[in-house]
Amino acid sequence: MSAQQAVAAVVVLAAGQGTRMRSATPKVLHELGGRSMLGHVLAAAGPLGAGTTLVVVGSGREAVEEHLAAVAPGARAVVQAEQLGSGHAARVALDAVPGLEGPVLVVNGDAPLLRVQTLTALAAAHATAGSVFTVLTAEVEDPTGLGRIVRDERGVPRAIVEESDATDAQRAIREVNAGVYVADAGTLRRVLAGLATDNAQGEQYLTDALAPLVEGGAPVAAVRAEDPADVLGCNDRRELAARRRTLNDRVLDDLMRSGVTVVDPATTWVDVTATVAPDALLEPGVQLRGTTAVAAGAVVGPDTTLVDATVEEGASVVRSHVLGAVVGPGASVGPFSYLRPGTSLAADAKVGAFVETKNARVGEGSKVPHLSYVGDATIGRGANIGAATVFVNYDGVAKHSTTIGDEVRIGSDTMLVAPVTVGDGAYTAAGSVITQDVPPGAMGVARAAQRNVAGWVSRRRPGTAAAEAAAAAESRAGGRPAAAGDEDGSAPGADHEQ
Ligand code: UD1
Ligand code: CA
């Protein structure tokens, strides 16, 4: 173990079934605040610098192993074939590293609120006390279901008693076992080998390691966590919701202390992996997930979800859903828009209401104000994409790209059938289906010429309000039809009646 290492190894117990979750997903893979429970435990233990990290897997092991490979490739999975208890699980882990010596952190995989400083303090206390087994504890309001810390008259820890094995007097104790321990590897190996199963659950309890060490006169210690919330486990969905709430409160408290305005903490959810700069403003109903980064002066919300998104300085995103997109400085999005991966808005660009974008680069100051789909597109600077424009990127087999130049004006309801290019400064006429490139400065028109069938309403819809309105207009115009040019064969105004 090197000087920077607080412990030689970390062992995470994650083989239990988690029956109380009533889930097809292994308990430790349930998520809160942007990580799995297991991910939170590994993140808290990581800075201790252990040379070896072992995760005991069993129930749902394939899923847990796959997850580990993705989030903590340096950790090693050790299989506990049968779930014979937490003591057995720790033993299986130590058997996998026979040469290991020094202090080992053993931690339940279902303790997502553990913090680095709590684990560091535990390891330091273990070293300072010269202890061979140090258990993390907490005073809690409601100790139901947790192991109780039994201390003697002098306050020295004597035993950890599981609730189902406790006497009434022991059940009244409010100091509980966190399921987090630092122990000397050799000592732990020895004591775990002698664990019995004469308890209510017939399991080898890791908690039973303490009493025999005390009886043998070995130095042990129990360290109270500063914040009792740290030690709370998570056994069912109600506890999962409660832990998620606590975790979120911590994240928001940190953000507010650092200078972020959070208008409504109760409806704002920020993953531990997201970052928000001071003087950003989060309106009610905001979720910031994954690697999302919000810069200073940006306004997000109300009612906006950002996933792996970047919102740069002074930008705003209102009532929108943004995945894997970059919203540049001063740019604005929403209300009611959907930005999908590969979208990148340059400075001061605008994506307005009811717009979907995907794999789209929108240039500086360019606007897509209303009701459009922009897929596989590159748009230059200062362009305006008229309402209801569709970038027709898919021919049923392959996706194709569209390029729009600088200062282009795309008329409303234009279909841009990719692959197609509209040159700098060009226009398209409203309602055009653009299938060929439009050269710079040209007007692309691709729609049928209009024809008006004069008098059609009075002939075909006589007696309707429309016919009356048309007749009134004609009489105001001096008895002549409002427009000439009958294309259905009859003479202009032939069947017109006053
Ligand atoms: C455990 C402690 C209890 C403590 C509580 C804190 C024991 C016997 N009791 O109770 O004193 O107050 O945590 O939350 O340890 N596991 C395995 N293999 C097994 C059994 C369990 O890997 O065969 C793992 C589980 O996945 C879990 C951890 O060990 O991460 C604890 O097991 P769990 O059943 O959750 O114990 P609790 O009843 O919560
Ligand atoms: Ca538990």
As annotated, the active-site residues are: 370
Question: Residues 327-347: pLDDT tens digits?
Answer: 999 999 999 999 999 999 999
The half-sphere exposure of 105 on its side-chain side, counting CA atoms within 13 A, is 37
**Mean pLDDT in residue range 489-493:** 39
Closest-CA residue, ligand 1 atom 14, reads 233
pLDDT, tens digit (0-9, with 9 covering 90-100), for 405-415: 999 999 999 99
Q: How does the average pLDDT of the chain come out, rounded?
A: 95
What is the pLDDT confidence band of residue 478, given thresholds at 50, 70 and 90? confident
- Reported confidence tier of residue 497, pLDDT bands at 50, 70, 90: very low
Closest listed ligand to the CA of 109: 1
SS3 243: helix
What are the angstrom distances between the C-alpha of 343 and each of 57, 149, 274, 363, 378?
A: 39, 55, 19, 11, 10
Q: Please name which ligand lies nearest the alpha carbon of 146.
A: 1
Rounded to whole angstroms, how far apart are CA atoms 182 and 102? Answer: 10
Give the integer Cα–Cα distance in Å for 234 and 60. 17
Distance, in Å, from the CA atom of 408 to the CA atom of 417, rounded to the nearest integer, reads: 16
Return the ligand 1 atom nearest residue 206 CA: 15
pLDDT at position 480: 66
Q: How far is the CA of 20 from the centre of ligand 1 (A)?
A: 12
CA 92, chain centre distance (Å): 34
Q: What is the pLDDT of residue 419?
A: 98
Mean pLDDT, residues 452-470 taken together: 97
pLDDT reported for residue 114: 97
pTM above 0.75, yes or no: yes
Instruction: Report the atom number in ligand 1 closest to the C-alpha of 111.
Output: 14
Task: Tell me which of 13, 41, 86 to substitute to probe ligand 1's pocket, judged by most ligand atoms within 8 Å of the beta carbon.
Answer: 86
197 by Cβ neighbours in 10 Å (0-12 / 13-18 / 19+) ranks as middle
Q: What is the pLDDT of residue 264?
A: 98
pLDDT reading at 490 higher than 50: no
SS3 percent helix, strand, coil of the chain, rounded to 5, is 25, 30, 45
The preferred substitution site among 10, 30, 108 for testing ligand 1, maximizing ligand atoms within 8 Å of CB, is 108
Task: Please give the C-alpha separations between residue 125 and each of 138, 147, 153, in angstroms, as whole numbers.
Answer: 15, 21, 21
Handedness of CA 356, 362, 368, 372 (dihedral sign): negative
Taking residues 294-303, what's their average pLDDT?
98
- pLDDT the model gives residue 254: 98
Which residues, including other chains, have CB under 8 Å from residue 447's CB and lie 6 or more apart?
429, 431, 432, 433
> pLDDT value at position 340?
98
Task: Give the DSSP H/E element, type plus range, for residue 191.
Answer: helix 185-193
Query: How confident is residue 491, by pLDDT bands cut at 50, 70 and 90?
Result: very low
Two structure tokens written together for 11? 């062992």
Q: CA-CA distance, 483 to 83, in Å (whole number)?
A: 88
Other Cβ atoms less than 10 A from the Cβ of 336: the count is 15
pLDDT digits (tens, 9 = 90+) for 84-132: 999 999 999 999 999 999 999 999 999 999 999 999 999 999 999 999 9
pLDDT at 481: 59
Atom of ligand 1 nearest to the CA of 56: 22
The one-letter amino acid at 168:
D
> What is the full DSSP assignment across 244-294?
HHHHHHHHHHHHHHTT-EES-GGG-EE-TT-EE-TT-EE-SSEEEETT-EE
Give residue-wise pLDDT tens across range 220-255: 999 999 999 999 999 999 999 999 999 999 999 999
Question: Which pLDDT does position 3 carry in this prediction?
Answer: 65
Angle between helices 116-129 and 37-45 (to 10 degrees): 50
Query: Mean pLDDT across the stretch 166-175?
Result: 97
Q: Which residue owns the Cα nearest ligand 1 atom 34?
A: 16
| CA 148 – ligand 2 centroid, Å | 14
- Whole-angstrom Cα distance, residue 350 to residue 384? 10
Ligand 1 pocket, Cβ-based, cut-off 6 angstroms: 13-16, 56, 58, 80, 83-86, 88-89, 108-110, 146-147, 160, 162, 176-179, 205-207, 233, 235
Which residues touch 306 (CB under 8 Å, ≥6 apart)?
274, 286, 287, 288, 289, 292, 294, 300, 317, 322
In ligand 1, the atom with minimum distance to the C-alpha of 17 is: 26
**CA neighbor of 26 nearest in space, from 34, 35, 15:** 15
Q: Which residue blocks in 5-132 are alpha helix, DSSP H?
A: 37-45, 61-71, 86-95, 116-129
- The answer on pLDDT for 479 being more than 80 is no
Whether the Cβ atoms of residue 173 and residue 149 lie closer than 8 Å to each other:
yes
Neighbours of 82 (CB within 10 A): 9
Q: Separation of 280 CA from ligand 2 center, angstroms?
A: 38
Output the CA 407–ligand 2 centroid distance in Å.
Answer: 61
User: Is the pLDDT at 418 greater than 90, yes or no?
Assistant: yes
